[in-house]
Amino acid sequence: MDLRGQNAIVTGGAVRLGLAIAHKLAFEGANVCVHCHSHAGEVQGVLSELRGHGVAAVAVAASFTEPVAAAQAVFERANSELGPVSILVNNAAIFEAATLASTTEDRWRRHLAINLQAPAFLCREFAERLPEGRQGSIVNIADWRGLRPPAGHLPYTVSKAGLIALTKVLAQELAPRIQVNAVAPGAILPPPGAGKDALKEMAERNPLQRTGRGSDVANAVAYLLKSEFINGEVLHVTGGEEL
């Protein structure tokens, strides 16, 4: 897919990996609808930066704790301001440490709603609204933990494992018009609120002995979007951490 002139939605696109992805798509010539929720204060500055690439950029605020209504609101905004959407990047997620003993019903529900249900219903809106005769592409931002689950982040890890399963199922259901792939990042950014030693500790856990950058994930997303014969793939961007 040539990204120039395409209309894209990036969920959680105002900060961190989502911001890097939104910038990459805008740099490649795509118009971008940035979804945000808790970072609505930063989004106007983000839109100005994206427009600096010569593309259109709009924002939509929605809480994915209500995944069906939020998915509809995101697409209504994108379609009305940009036109039909041909690229969807499901990036928004929450990441909280919890064992089985410490997992509350609310924590379980929020992780599944935001990290798994919202992407599923966004994919449904995407497929239903894609104009006849148009090709589309979806990239889900997963996590290497979804395929090699460690202990300690139970609701998060289960939600990301589900996102990988969703990717593989929809790659079959939505073909041939829509390709569905995933990127599984590793040591890229420290968790929000982590101390200054977090990156050093993360680097020590992978063979390359260093952390990646947001641009590494963004480039992987762009690669999958541009590729015409990759479908149902989970591309690791981890430095080999999952090995």
pLDDT tens figures, 20-43: 999 999 999 999 999 998 766 788
Q: Please state the pTM of the whole predicted model.
A: 0.94
Among 87, 156, 166, 185, the one annotated catalytic:
156
Q: Which helix (H) or strand (E) holds 5?
A: none
Question: Looking at the domain assignment, is residue 40 inside a domain?
Answer: yes
223 is catalytic: no
Q: What's the sign of the alpha-carbon dihedral 97, 98, 99, 101?
A: positive
Residues 6+ apart with CB under 8 A from 192: none
Q: What is the pLDDT of residue 109?
A: 97
Supply 32's token pair.
Answer: 């971008």
What DSSP letter does each residue of 37-95 carry, written as one string? Answer: STTGGGHHHHHHHHHTTTS-EEEEE--TTSHHHHHHHHHHHHHHHT-S--EEEE-----
Query: pLDDT (tens digit, 9 = 90+) per residue, 16-26?
Result: 999 999 999 99
Residue 83 lies in a domain: yes
- The answer to the question of residue 21 being in a domain is yes
Asked, for residue 243, whether it belongs to a domain, the answer is no
CATH number of the domain enclosing 79: 3.40.50.720
Q: By the 8 A CB rule, do 190 and 202 touch? A: yes
* Structural domains counted in the chain: 1
Q: Which residues pair with 10 in a beta bridge?
A: 34, 89
Asked if the structure places residue 1 within a domain, the reply is no
Asked if residue 217 is part of any domain, the answer here is yes
Domain that holds residue 207: 7-237
Q: Residue 242 domain-assigned?
A: no
CA distance 2 to 151: 40
Q: Does 196 score more than 80 pLDDT?
A: no
